[in-house]
Amino acid sequence: MKNNILLFLLLGTFASAQTNRFFYEYKFIPDSDHKEEVKKEMMLLDIDKTGSSYYSHDKFVADSTGRAELEKQLKVGGGSISINKREKPGQVSYKVTKQYPDFKTYLFRSIAMDHYKIREDQKPEWKIAPDKQKIGEYNAQKAVTNLGGREWIAWFSTDIPFQDGPYIFYGLPGLIIKLEDATGSHSMMLVGNKKVESMSSEKEMQVPENVKVLGLGSKEIEVSKDQFKKAWKSYVNDPTKSMREMMMKNGGDSGTKVAFKVRTADGKEISDPNQVFREMEKRVKENLKKDNNPIEPDLVN
């Protein structure tokens, strides 16, 4: 009997070190003027005893590979550092974390070179409907909420005993296995799950003082949604402001040379700073016009 109890305790210890990973196929229409152009991204929802994390599979792989390349080059040393563009960099750049047991929720997003940790101050208020259906192998029930400027229809299953779900959604008596907004612009469907070993917290990369890498070395700025909206509005009005400020600051450092190069749509390379910034601003504004159907309209409008 003692051996059996010991075995049970050991199994329990190993199980607690695992993460439940749920795979969601995310379909979205970025441009409301071209609803026929539907994009897809595989998203991951990792759940353990402390909370959950929702993020893009492709972006995670691309970031991990790029980080490994950079660390290797920093160890070797040399006069220049080059990071190759990933084949699948990921279309979804944001990440969402929730902390149990109170479900403190944060949305991580970037604006230009600044990284933001946005506090979610609104809890999903669900209306559970009597509608039920079988989705895949799970028995599911319907629920509706309004959040972020959209009406959302969720299907949750008590077959999976987690009160969590994709993106910023949680609070139902089971895992959300299907989620779609009323316009059909954004939908998330559970397509698989498995258990994985819990990942240890990522150590901060040590970058030499004379090396500056865009996207690294800056910590998240914790803000409210209103503060993020203000930063977003400023970016839309002047997309290259932070880049110009960085160039002016670093260009004044002794022994520091900052250079930017871009290629135009016809393949012409531009290196003149003023032309570079004009081209960058043009691209940003063109992209914003095409990306006019965000998952949370209230956050960027």
**Alpha-carbon span 239 to 283, nearest angstrom:** 10
Q: What is the pLDDT of residues 95-116, one digit of tens each?
A: 999 999 999 999 999 998 889 9
Q: In a 3-state reduction of DSSP, which class is residue 155?
A: strand
Distances (CA, A) of 9 to 2, 6, 34: 11, 5, 56
Could you say which residues of the chain have pLDDT below 70? 1-17, 64-88, 199-218, 247-273
Give the domain 18-238 fold: outer membrane lipoprotein receptor (LolB), chain A (2.50.20)
Q: Are the C-beta atoms of residues 191 and 211 closer than 8 Å to each other?
A: no
Q: Are the C-beta atoms of residues 166 and 157 closer than 8 Å to each other?
A: no
DSSP of 213-261, one letter per residue?
Answer: -TTSS---EEE-HHHHHHHHHHHHH-TTHHHHHHHHHHHTSTT------
**Alpha-carbon span 295 to 301, nearest angstrom:** 11
Structural domain boundaries in the chain: 18-238
Beta strand spans in 29-67 (E):
39-48, 51-56
Given the DSSP bridges, would you call strands 262-263 and 221-223 parallel, antiparallel or unpaired?
A: unpaired
Q: Are the C-beta atoms of residues 261 and 82 closer than 8 Å to each other?
A: no
Q: Give the pLDDT score at 228.
A: 97
- CA 221 to mean position of chain CA atoms: 15
Q: Give the pLDDT score at 5.
A: 34
Q: Give the pLDDT score at 11.
A: 35
Q: Give the pLDDT score at 97.
A: 98
Nearest one of 148, 149, 52 to 106, comparing CA atoms = 52
- Give the pair of three-digit tokens for residue 162: 């987690």
Q: Give the pLDDT score at 31.
A: 95
Nearest one of 89, 95, 42, 43 to 66, comparing CA atoms = 89
Q: What is the pLDDT of residues 140-183, one digit of tens each?
A: 999 999 999 999 999 999 999 999 999 999 999 999 999 999 99
How many other CB atoms are found less than 10 A from the CB of residue 209?
Answer: 5
Q: Give the pLDDT score at 127.
A: 98
